[in-house]
Structure 1
């Protein structure tokens, strides 16, 4: 645990115009230094409630990779520290420099801080139905392709009606809705990276952008590209 002198140095650094970044539980140190009061912040999804309880004057943003508020940056898990570092590099030295570092590290050049911490593939995997897991394995690896229900039924070794029922019971979604959600999530990532809606639509398996635009509009995503 940092001592009082460390907290004082954090406050002094920020007061002098410096930027502070707390990765994962590092948000707690910023909170103890009083630097989260009145600011938006985040942390790992498993301890967001705890952060909100400990620092009631902070505005905890749920399910975000990182949050920037007045030169105070907080982020989710340890891996999101890479996203924070690339963001800071881009701000200080431009996107080209950040892109060069990202390529060297073999990571995405930029992920928006508002991106969700948990991808669709993981969000619906907390169940224990091995039959549904087998179907999800197929969809996860081939979600850009046409996957008729009879193919999923053969994978699950049961009838089409049964696989639909099992899948809905385990995940809350139909197989088609799950595949569509994966396509949309991937398309949003591509668009955030600079792809047009047309290019993203083709990359996730749609013949043209009309379906993707409808899906984005239906989910409240601004469809301007």
Structure 2
């Protein structure tokens, strides 16, 4: 017998196209491969008809919110460039709360987590979003615990995902939860996706560059560490370089970057390692030395623990074509 699961996507002007179509493609592919995966998808908005996405391509809402299915298995809330207006729409937030109350599980894609948080659905929960907006989510909604490195995350009946294509990773996880690993793996193969993407979000960002603090003191400290990444920096040494007290430096780092000076040092060294791996052809042992590690083994362990992938795997994914050509000569 079929187990019908009604999946409702919430649409609003400026929603990201891939936040909707990516997960929908996964559910559709699973249904094509196993009739028992009877996913029935519908798009709902304020009004039935076309809703313009952030790319300018319109999606067609099957119904307005008032006529959304009474029994919802999965409610999917996307993000997108129209997020600010959506968050200011009290009626939309109330609708999300109402639909979520009758859904078996609630899903956000990318910055859709902001809408779930604004609707009060993430209070006291763990959640993730695109790495670029993780600090903002944590700052605006202190009642939730943001995990910025997760590709996707489940907390009870609420699932959240990182940026855009991570919505497809999350959808595969939902297929696996519903119908088992075999169908999820077959679906992933059909779509040429990882079933479980190795590593976290940090492999796709330059960690400290993504956290755009503009304070001159932090920039001086940052430059000092970048100039001598192999130096055994301490908080005291950084404070002396910045001409401030250690206490002030710790408070400044926490306020500006949401991290300690020690975490900053480690992140800066990893940032340098990522650049050396992607932009050049130096051997891993040489990169370890340039980053202040006494052995390549210690460097590889730290890199793997921080980014979730080995230096070799990171280079294979992110090395620029020019660097790759130079290495093959």
What TM-score bracket applies, with the shorter chain setting the length? Answer: 0.5 to 0.7
CA distance in 2 between counterparts of 1:119 and 1:128 reads 8
Query: Is 1:134 matched with 2:280?
Result: yes
Query: Is 1:86 matched with 2:177?
Result: no
CA distance in 2 between counterparts of 1:120 and 1:173 reads 23
Q: CA RMSD in A?
A: 3.4
Paired residues for 1:25-174 under 5 Å: 25-111=111-197, 115-119=199-203, 124-126=270-272, 133-136=279-282, 138-139=283-284, 167-168=290-291, 172-173=292-293
SS at match of 1:19: strand
Q: Which residue of 2 aligns with 1:5?
A: 91
More strand by share: 2
Q: What is the Cα deviation at residue 133 of structure 1?
A: 4.6
CA distance in 1 between counterparts of 2:274 and 2:177 reads 44
Moved more, 175-184 or 65-74: 175-184
Q: What is the Cα deviation at residue 23 of structure 1?
A: 1.6
Give deviations 1:36-63, integer Å, cap 9, x for gaps: 1111111122222211111111121232
CA distance in 1 between counterparts of 2:93 and 2:115 reads 7
Give deviations 1:6-28, integer Å, cap 9, x for gaps: 32232122211332211221111
Query: Is 1:14 matched with 2:135?
Result: no
CA distance in 1 between counterparts of 2:109 and 2:295 reads 36
Residue pair 2:130, 2:148 contacting (<8 A) in 1 also: no
Residue pair 2:131, 2:149 contacting (<8 A) in 1 also: yes
Residue pair 1:10, 1:20 contacting (<8 A) in 2 also: no
Residue pair 1:121, 1:182 contacting (<8 A) in 2 also: no
Flag the structure with larger Rg: 2
CA distance in 2 between counterparts of 1:5 and 1:100 reads 40
| TM-aligned CA distance change 1:98 to 1:16, over 3 Å | same
Query: Is 1:24 matched with 2:110?
Result: yes
More helix by share: 1
Residue pair 2:152, 2:170 contacting (<8 A) in 1 also: yes
SS at match of 2:190: helix
CA distance in 1 between counterparts of 2:161 and 2:275 reads 33
Give deviations 1:155-186, integer Å, cap 9, x for gaps: xxxxxxxx765x12xxx445613345567755
Residue pair 1:13, 1:19 contacting (<8 A) in 2 also: no
Structure 1 residue ranges without an equivalent (≥5): 140-148, 153-162, 188-225
Residue pair 1:66, 1:75 contacting (<8 A) in 2 also: yes
| TM-aligned CA distance change 1:80 to 1:73, over 3 Å | same
SS at match of 2:94: helix
CA distance in 2 between counterparts of 1:132 and 1:111 reads 19
TM-score by length of 1: 0.58
Give deviations 1:115-150, integer Å, cap 9, x for gaps: 5212399663447987995345x44xxxxxxxxx6x
| TM-aligned CA distance change 1:31 to 1:120, over 3 Å | closer
| TM-aligned CA distance change 1:120 to 1:28, over 3 Å | closer
